[in-house]
Amino acid sequence: MCGIFGMIGDSNTTKLLMQGLKRMEYRGYDSSGICIVDNNEFIRRRAVGELSNLEPLVVNLPNAECGIAHTRWATHGPPTEDNAHPHMSPKLDVAVVHNGIIENEVELRKELSSIDKNIIFKSDTDSEIIAHLLSNEIKNSGLDLKKSKDEEFISCWKKVIDKLEGSFALAVILKGRNDFILFARKFAPLVISHDGNKGILASDVSCIVGITDKVHYLEEGDWGLINKNGLKIFNIDGDLVEKEPKKLEWTLGDAELGGYPTFMLKEIYEQPRVVRDCLRGRLSREKIKGVSIPFNPRLLRIVGCGTAYNAGLLARYYIEQLSKIPVILDHAHEFRYGAPSGPKSLVIGISQSGETADTLAAIQAAHERGYPTLGIVNVESSTIARNVDTMIGIRAGPEIGVASTKAFTGQVLGGLLVAMKLGQDSKNFHREDLSYFDRHARMLPTSIERMLNDQNIKTKLWEAQQYFVDKNHAFFLGRNTSYPIALEGALKLKEISYIHAEGYAGGELKHGPLALVEEGTPIVVIASEGSSHKKLLGNAREVAARGAKVILITHQEDELADSHADLVIKVPRTHDLLQPLLYNIICQLLSLNIAEERGCNVDRPRNLAKSVTVE
């Protein structure tokens, strides 16, 4: 998604803005731009495509003290230079960068055109209108760009914000005014920071790491002005608010590769640490600690998107198995526009970023319907984390690769903690069950480490990837708790290798998908537990009989496996509830290897963004 970065008061602003844009590359973008205030003028540079196209355009820019920058992920109009931010007013006195969507753009354009029939919009974007509106407001209020005071611009800015419907994070600068930046946020993330000399605002904390370690997280509807001396934050009602800065969750190491060739690989290898951190202080032999369930629910609803949805599906199996409480799982975007009925239920929102627009809206919809909410979130300062009634932080650390890997592991563990807690509360999951689980959970990080360094597994993965590299379609099959892994495995493969991949529950094969299996179709079968495992092996036979190349991922104690696949990858045996996590890591590695062999950029897959902050 788009990224915003603005700086004031540092003589290295141009260089730092470019560094910030580089750090936000992982979010996904297709054009970029920068605008600085130099003496009495704006200097703006924009480019389509990679940041390397913008870099040569900024090398000779002066070292301004005030500027804004943007990476754009096209929504309104194609990725062209005209559509790239910053956008300017016709008089070239206002420059704006915007994340989000202005939903009443058409009405606002009409309103402006009725005032000035000759008005020309230079872009297809909804964002440009904001520069026009502010420029008009400044003119109508009779302000002088050079002489008027901050307060006067603040009141113009408020009038503009009040006209905007939709979602936005905004940073605005004015021609000849290198002494302040105006900002606002509504349903789109924005953080600001001030160290007494310089101010920073950004949609993503990755830009800020290394410059400062304290930030203010803005609330919905906050807006204001940041200048060289400090900042003024107003809430949605226009009241000045005092906020304590918070310590940044990121470190410089998080924003860098640390010797790994890609962030995706780095994050896959971080999973032993994620397991340790996520369970620390929460799991013991006797009870689940630090997980508070807002009330005693008779029904649970889980919402999430993409990988978070897949983790939610696994959580559903766990919760129903351990607590016997029924669970309904929805894509967050379906839930938000649905009309859920039935008993008052606990709504669990799962989100790595905590900023996914649909998941946030689903949480808000839950509140409106009077349902208590629980978030399973990675970024603990995020909007979702701050909006839910109670939160479980998965402690995965910043995830930069667009393909979610370590967050899935954390999300599943978060779901498992909820399931065990509900199971204990409902007396369906007993102390001895927990003690047995705890023993295995303590060994899990070591099992993952062993698996990641296992030469035999590496060789098998290499052999497996040969089945895929020249193929356009692949399938992943699972049953029961391995079905979510099949969905997640397919999602990972399609998003980074561009091979069309689908995950199915094995029982569904004969109801349609079997028609797609032909000679050489690669099919990954992910072992399940109990009686469904044999059924799944039967599915493996069915697809093999139709020429498929079957790769079976299972554990070391599975004796049936070898006769059921062209290639078997065996991982360490662990507790049934944890076993899917190991299978999933193998799927992550398989997708990564295939994507790299096909020459794809695994950290920045085409058309995708790390955090989907618009609908």
Instruction: Pick the closer one to ligand M6R by CB: 353 or 387.
Output: 353
Please tell me whether residue 413 binds ligand M6R under the rule CB under 6 A: no
Instruction: Pick the closer one to ligand M6R by CB: 226 or 360.
Output: 360
Please tell me whether residue 14 binds ligand M6R under the rule CB under 6 A: no
DSSP-assigned states of every residue in 133-164: HHHHHHHHTT--TTT--HHHHHHHHHHHHHH-
Size of the site for ligand M6R (CB under 6 A): 17
Amino acid at the residue 227 = N
Q: How many CB atoms lie within 10 A of CB 142?
A: 8
Minimum Å distance from CB 499 to ligand M6R? 15
Instruction: Pick the closer one to ligand M6R by CB: 163 or 367.
Output: 367
Backbone Cα Rg of the chain: 26
In whole angstroms, what is the distance from residue 218 CA to residue 201 CA?
10
Measured CA distances, 388 to 166, 290, 295 (Å) = 21, 16, 14
Chosen residue from 67, 306, 423, 503 binding ligand M6R by CB under 6 A: 306
Q: Interacting stretch for ligand M6R, rule CB under 6 A, among 9-17, 52-60, 400-408, 554-562?
A: 400-408
Please tell me whether residue 403 binds ligand M6R under the rule CB under 6 A: yes
DSSP-assigned states of every residue in 218-267: PPTT-EEEEESS-EEEE-TTS-EE----EE-S--GGGGS-TT-S-HHHHH
In whole angstroms, what is the distance from residue 537 CA to residue 482 CA?
13
Instruction: Pick the closer one to ligand M6R by CB: 465 or 611.
Output: 611
Instruction: Pick the closer one to ligand M6R by CB: 87 or 610.
Output: 610
In whole angstroms, what is the distance from residue 240 CA to residue 34 CA?
30
Instruction: Pick the closer one to ligand M6R by CB: 272 or 304.
Output: 304
Active-site entry in 2, 156, 305, 587: 2
| Backbone φ, ψ for residue 311 (5° rounding) | -65, -35
Minimum Å distance from CB 163 to ligand M6R? 30
Whether residue 86 has a cis bond before it, omega within 30° of 0: yes
In whole angstroms, what is the distance from residue 288 CA to residue 273 CA?
20
Please tell me whether residue 387 binds ligand M6R under the rule CB under 6 A: no
In whole angstroms, what is the distance from residue 57 CA to residue 79 CA?
18
Chosen residue from 127, 227, 352, 409 binding ligand M6R by CB under 6 A: 352
Please tell me whether residue 307 binds ligand M6R under the rule CB under 6 A: yes
Active-site entry in 186, 421, 492, 610: 610
In whole angstroms, what is the distance from residue 397 CA to residue 387 CA?
20
Q: Interacting stretch for ligand M6R, rule CB under 6 A, among 80-88, 105-113, 443-451, 605-613?
A: 605-613
Chosen residue from 36, 108, 255, 308 binding ligand M6R by CB under 6 A: 308
Chosen residue from 323, 359, 482, 591 binding ligand M6R by CB under 6 A: 359
Minimum Å distance from CB 605 to ligand M6R? 8
Amino acid at the residue 362 = A
Instruction: Pick the closer one to ligand M6R by CB: 235 or 390.
Output: 390
Q: Are 609 and 73 in contact (CB under 8 A)?
A: yes
Minimum Å distance from CB 417 to ligand M6R? 17
Helix, strand, coil fractions of the chain, as percent rounded to 5 = 40, 25, 40
Instruction: Pick the closer one to ligand M6R by CB: 93 or 603.
Output: 603
Instruction: Pick the closer one to ligand M6R by CB: 27 or 479.
Output: 27
Please tell me whether residue 227 binds ligand M6R under the rule CB under 6 A: no
User: Hey, CA dihedral for 398, 401, 404, 406, is it positive or negative?
Assistant: negative
596: left (phi over 0), alpha (psi -120 to 50) or beta: alpha
| Nearest position to ligand M6R, beta carbon | 306
Minimum Å distance from CB 332 to ligand M6R? 8
Please tell me whether residue 584 binds ligand M6R under the rule CB under 6 A: no
Q: Interacting stretch for ligand M6R, rule CB under 6 A, among 141-149, 153-161, 286-294, 399-407?
A: 399-407
Segment 465-504, which members bind ligand M6R (CB under 6 A)?
Answer: 491, 495
In whole angstroms, what is the distance from residue 528 CA to residue 147 CA?
71
What does the DSSP 8-state code read for residue 273?
Answer: H
Please tell me whether residue 207 binds ligand M6R under the rule CB under 6 A: no
Please tell me whether residue 353 binds ligand M6R under the rule CB under 6 A: yes
Burial level of 43, CB count in 10 A (0-12/13-18/19+)?
A: middle
In whole angstroms, what is the distance from residue 347 CA to residue 388 CA?
9
Minimum Å distance from CB 592 to ligand M6R? 12
In the residue annotation, 2 being an active-site residue is answered as yes
Please tell me whether residue 404 binds ligand M6R under the rule CB under 6 A: yes
- The binding site for ligand M6R (CB under 6 A) comprises 305-308, 351-353, 356, 359, 402-404, 491, 495, 608, 611-612
Residue positions annotated with a catalytic role: 2, 610
